[in-house]
Structure 1
């Protein structure tokens, strides 16, 4: 059975901070799963738990917590298992979303910085400024 072993006080504090005010819903949900796994919840139980009040759940017995689960999430045990693996392997950064794929950028960071500068200080001839930026890139 997969679970997270006892958390250090620092890890618990970091995870609790992410759970309470993390930058994305998915990251908060993953932090919650790691915290509850450390409390002894199984993968099947974790796949049903969502946003239960963590402070209240810490004061309850295992049976009370299991009986008082208030909301259900559509997340299967395999997904939670992957979250726990990410936590064990990478710690807190492992709970963040991976970079998404997409169309490659058409301009690099240098050209983007130049364009931002041009747009912050517009010139009467925007076309000339854009052509200048493209020349810096090396293509027209």
Structure 2
């Protein structure tokens, strides 16, 4: 059974705000897990409640302890490279703004 260090008022506020208002479901779920852990719920209870693996909850707690609120966020992932450069995308958006009737 693993528990994080007691939360400061600022940490509790940060987690509560993330749980209630962050646009990412994953961040909200991680914040909820940390708040539940701070209230004394075990990793087994949290994993059952949130329908995730025990190891997942353990990893979330480790990330919080090592990185603080940055640990709530997803790590950057590789993916398909963009088709347009940033300059080309800006140029394209400018064209659309100038000629919206020609989109059909």
Q: TM-score, normalised by structure 1?
A: 0.61
User: Which digits, 9 at most, give the CA deviation of each residue in 1:3-57, with x for residues without a partner?
Assistant: 11210000000000000111211110100111111111111011122xxxxxxxx
Taking the aligned partners of 2:83 and 2:88, their CA distance within structure 1 comes to 14
The structure, 1 or 2, with the larger RCO (C-alpha pairs under 8 Å, 6+ apart) is 2
**Is 1:93 matched up with 2:70?**
yes
The 5 A counterparts of 1:51-130 are: 73-105=50-82, 107=84, 111-117=85-91, 119-121=93-95
1:37 and 1:115, CA in 2 relative to 1: closer, same or farther beyond 3 A?
closer
Would you say how many aligned residue pairs link Structure 1 and Structure 2? 97
Gaps of 5+ in 1: 50-72, 124-140
Give 1:76 deviation, angstroms.
1.3
Normalised TM-score (structure 2): 0.80
Decide which moves more: 29-38 or 96-105: 96-105
Structure having the higher helix fraction is 2
| Separation in 2, partners of 1:15, 1:119 | 37
